[in-house]
Amino acid sequence: MDSTAIPHLGQSGTSSPVPQHLGQAATAACNLATNFLAPVKTERQIYENSMLEDDPNANSQCPAVNSEEQQQQQQQPRWGPNHRGAQELAGLYSRGKRIQEVICLGVCCALMSCDFLFILLRVKLDNLSTILLAAFCGVVTADFVSGLAHWTADTWGSVELPVIGKNFLRPFREHHIDPTSITRHDFVETNGDTFAVTIPVLCKLTWDFISLPEADIQRRFFWICFWYELAIFVAMTNQIHKWSHTYFGLPWYVVWLQEHRVILPRRHHRVHHVAPHETYFCITTGWLNWPLEKLQFWYLLECCIERLTGCRPRADDMKWAQKRS
Ligand SMILES: [Zn+2]
Ligand SMILES: [Zn+2]
């Protein structure tokens, strides 16, 4: 057999078209793999477009290319507690909001304790796997719920909206322009809203425990455990989020959970804090961030909503970010 007739992978000008197609397919597969496995945000993008919280002295600021840019950098803080927008938003945290958070935390903790006792009384060796499976489903669902709530609050609405604007959207706007402010919030301010949203679910569980016959409770035990554990993980979400912004002085067990990706890791959450804050919204474990980004889930959802309503995503977020000084 003539050696020139032996087809080579991707070689052009061979007698058979198959090897050329194979070569093109291999190149396409390589490109696809490279794009698919590429980091969502590069170190350069993180460095240039977010506030580096592991550098308290701000030594990592990007070098200015000219004197005008240098002057602008000195006069206009892009992020942090000196940002005028961040200061204005922090000032909108009211006494009424604080009272609402304290009441919600109290009610939620009481319901959580009651439901915990009701479940504990029914724990047996043969339903342990049910509880563990419900916990796994609960934590995955909580991660998705955290992403959906975070995306909604970050992307739509405005601080000027009555009731929800100042009380529920304000902390999201403040968090983007001063990410470390969460580390200065106490337990009540950090956890008030995430505990509050679980109250209806916990109320329903308590009602089921006191009103349903035991046979019905046993039949629904998986779903009872699922809703209870979902409520626990949702309630804990903002505390976990706060830990992901805390680069100094965390207890060793929190660092262990972050490093083993059981809860939202610090380096992972930095991807969300790269302007314009359009991805990595899940903040309980962060497990769903990568698959949702690869599916372009948030982007496609935003395109549909923008087309239907004409509202621009993150218009209010952008407005506050520009109130620099
Ligand atoms: Zn955000
Ligand atoms: Zn954050």
Ligand 1 being an ion, which residues bring their Cβ within 5 A of it? 154
Burial 266-284 (b: 16+ CB within 10 A, else e): bebbbbbbbbebbbbbbbb
What is the reported pLDDT for 4?
Answer: 40
What is the reported pLDDT for 194?
Answer: 95
What is the reported pLDDT for 293?
Answer: 93
From the CA of 182, the nearest ligand is 2
Centre of ligand 2 to C-alpha 280, Å, is 10
Parts of the chain with a pLDDT under 70: 1-19, 32-37, 47-48, 51-66, 69-78, 324-325
What is the reported pLDDT for 74?
Answer: 57
What is the reported pLDDT for 34?
Answer: 63
Centre of ligand 2 to C-alpha 296, Å, is 20
What is the reported pLDDT for 59?
Answer: 47
What is the reported pLDDT for 304?
Answer: 95
Centre of ligand 1 to C-alpha 280, Å, is 8
What is the reported pLDDT for 8?
Answer: 43
Centre of ligand 2 to C-alpha 86, Å, is 14
What is the reported pLDDT for 314?
Answer: 92
From the CA of 317, the nearest ligand is 1
